[in-house]
């Protein structure tokens, strides 16, 4: 009893760690750090003030929209549905509660209160969900221009907190993980109906104070449960999203989202598991095309998401002006070709894999460009039938979008030893920006061209 009574609580442990860090890693350049923090707060606060003080009518129902009837609250609900689904899926993929190696050591090797250690982390995650919900609500008001934008924003804040609280409860083993999956699927199932209602000018009322109060009352239960039940999170649960958190941190540090994409894809394929082997065609090119098709057949979730997004784009191009529709055509082709060009990326990024396949670079790139090119053609056909774009705009969108996606997927691995420009405000990685501009540069040029010709 004396041994367990002498164990420090979570507050004492945090104070002990801070004092240890101050003694062994002194903070040398304190004035510079204070200036950077104040500058970040000034810039972030100014951007937030500008975003939330900008009237919605200056953006919604403006030049890109052909008729005022298209500016309905249904578009705002569509944005909210997509944001809730994406937010819940992202929170589930990230943990959402994760711990570093130093915190994990203390949680596993001492009989201290695990909930007290994790509670500040859970509170910070919930606050992040509220901030993300506020930003989504502001975006929804720009799209829908409701009469009361404060009510819409309060609703999205509550939904943002709830979208984070439910994965936390699943991580605490209070709720089964299937609850989060059902919520994500319901959001994606509701989305086509909301988009069709917006396209057909069906009146969808904006949220009122009563609905906001009900949503906040419902969300309060999982929020309180996640704060007081976070002590139930065991080591396997908080380790599940640690690699995703590391991937996010590394991607932000080196400005390369490919690291995070690799982590997410690896987790997805591990979750899928093994599949029965199938015989490939005898020819080299047909075998490569078949293997690229099997990649998407065995992991159909991105295909379904792309199909739902394509339906939304088809509705969007029917209500916007011709220049905006031409740009939407181009961006849709580019996004679809990039999403289905993972095989092209893997071969061009790893030269060892290309050598093992026993074919020339032109043969490999031609075979692995069949699937993304075919999907891009399907996307152009669907969006063209829904809108009224000209033949020239469609042709430039198809060729330019595919070419930009091809440049992006066939670029070599990112190198970090290039030119860095020293300026008064910090370092500018010129060579890194040049490498990342391969693909998007052609997309910008084609967007300007189709907008002018439209």
* pLDDT for res 25: 65
Quick: pLDDT tens for 43-61: 878 777 777 776 655 444 4
pLDDT > 70 in the chain, percent: 86
* pLDDT for res 57: 53
Q: Could you say which DSSP state residue 227 is in?
A: H
Quick: pLDDT tens for 187-208: 888 877 777 777 677 777 777 7
Quick: pLDDT tens for 417-429: 777 777 766 677 7
* pLDDT for res 68: 44
Read off the pLDDT of each residue in 130-158 and give the average, rounded to a whole number: 81
The answer, yes or no, to whether residue 2 has pLDDT greater than 60, is no
296 Cβ neighbours under 8 A, 6+ residues apart: 302, 303, 340, 371
Quick: pLDDT tens for 304-352: 777 777 777 777 777 667 777 888 888 888 888 888 888 888 888 777 7
* pLDDT for res 426: 64
Quick: pLDDT tens for 86-124: 888 888 888 788 876 667 777 777 777 777 778 888 888
Of 73-77, 177-181, 251-255, where does the model show the most confidence? 177-181
* pLDDT for res 69: 43
Distance CA 140, CA 160 (A): 13
Sign of CA dihedral 410, 416, 417, 419: positive
Quick: pLDDT tens for 371-402: 888 888 888 888 887 766 678 888 888 888 88
The answer, yes or no, to whether residue 137 has pLDDT greater than 80, is yes
Q: Say if residue 401 is exposed, middle or buried (CB neighbours under 10 Å; 0-12, 13-18, 19+).
A: buried
Quick: pLDDT tens for 205-233: 777 788 888 989 998 888 898 888 887 88
277 Cβ neighbours under 8 A, 6+ residues apart: none
pLDDT > 90 in the chain, percent: 0
> Pick the residue with more confidence: 435 or 169?
169
Please state which of the ranges 33-37, 130-134, 135-139 shows the lowest mean pLDDT: 33-37
* pLDDT for res 71: 54
Distance CA 338, CA 317 (A): 21
Distance CA 326, CA 390 (A): 8
Q: pLDDT band for 6, please (50, 70, 90 cuts).
A: low
* pLDDT for res 4: 52
Please state which of the ranges 4-8, 72-76, 281-285, 445-449 shows the lowest mean pLDDT: 4-8
Distance CA 140, CA 215 (A): 17
Distance CA 12, CA 29 (A): 27
> Pick the residue with more confidence: 295 or 280?
295
Average pLDDT taken over every residue of the chain: 78
The answer, yes or no, to whether residue 63 has pLDDT greater than 60, is no
* pLDDT for res 28: 59
* pLDDT for res 26: 62
Encode burial over 82-97: b for 16+ CB neighbours within 10 A, e otherwise.
bbbbbbbbbbbbbbbb
Global confidence as pTM? 0.72
Distance CA 323, CA 350 (A): 39
């Amino acid at each position: 009893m004396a041994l367990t009574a002498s164990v420090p609580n979570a507050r004492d442990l945090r104070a002990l760690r801070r004092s240890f860090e101050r003694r062994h890693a002194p903070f040398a350049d304190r004035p510079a750090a204070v200036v950077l923090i104040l500058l970040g707060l000034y810039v972030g606060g100014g951007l937030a003030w500008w975003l939330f003080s900008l009237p919605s009518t200056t953006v919604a129902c403006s030049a890109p929209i052909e008729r005022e009837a298209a500016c309905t609250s249904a578009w705002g609900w569509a944005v909210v549905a997509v944001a809730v689904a994406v937010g819940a899926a992202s929170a589930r993929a990230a943990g959402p509660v994760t711990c570093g190696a130093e915190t994990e050591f203390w949680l596993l090797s001492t009989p201290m209160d695990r909930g007290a250690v994790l509670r500040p982390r859970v509170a910070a995650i919930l606050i992040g969900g509220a901030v993300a919900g506020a930003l989504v609500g502001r975006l929804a008001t720009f799209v829908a221009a409701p009469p009361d934008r404060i009510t819409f924003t309060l609703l999205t804040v509550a939904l943002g907190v709830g979208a984070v609280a439910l994965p936390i409860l699943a991580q605490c083993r209070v709720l089964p993980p299937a609850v989060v999956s059902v919520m994500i699927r319901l959001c994606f199932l509701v989305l086509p109906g909301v988009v069709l209602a917006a396209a057909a000018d069906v009146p969808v009322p904006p949220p009122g104070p009563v609905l906001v109060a009900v949503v906040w009352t419902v969300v309060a239960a999982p929020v309180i449960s996640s704060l007081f039940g976070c002590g139930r999170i065991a080591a396997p649960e908080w380790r599940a999203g640690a690699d995703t958190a590391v991937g996010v941190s590394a991607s932000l540090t080196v400005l390369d989202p490919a690291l995070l994409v690799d982590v997410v894809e690896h987790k997805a394929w591990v979750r899928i598991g093994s599949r029965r082997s199938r015989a490939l065609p005898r020819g080299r090119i047909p075998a490569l095309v078949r293997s690229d098709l099997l990649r998407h057949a065995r992991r159909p979730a991105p295909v379904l998401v792309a199909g739902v997004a394509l339906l939304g784009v088809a509705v969007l191009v029917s209500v916007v002006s011709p220049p905006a529709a031409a740009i939407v055509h181009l961006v849709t082709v580019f996004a679809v070709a990039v999403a289905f060009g993972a095989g092209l990326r893997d071969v061009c990024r790893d030269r060892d894999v290309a050598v093992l396949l026993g074919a020339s670079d032109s043969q490999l790139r031609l075979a692995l460009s069949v699937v993304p090119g075919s999907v891009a053609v399907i996307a152009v056909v669907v969006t063209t039938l829904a809108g009224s774009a000209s033949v020239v705009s469609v042709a430039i969108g198809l060729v330019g979008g595919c070419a930009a996606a091809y440049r992006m997927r066939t670029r070599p691995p990112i190198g970090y030893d290039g030119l860095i420009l020293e300026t008064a405000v910090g370092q500018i990685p010129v060579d890194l920006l040049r490498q990342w501009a391969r693909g998007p540069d052609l997309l910008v040029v084609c967007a300007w061209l189709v907008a002018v010709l439209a």
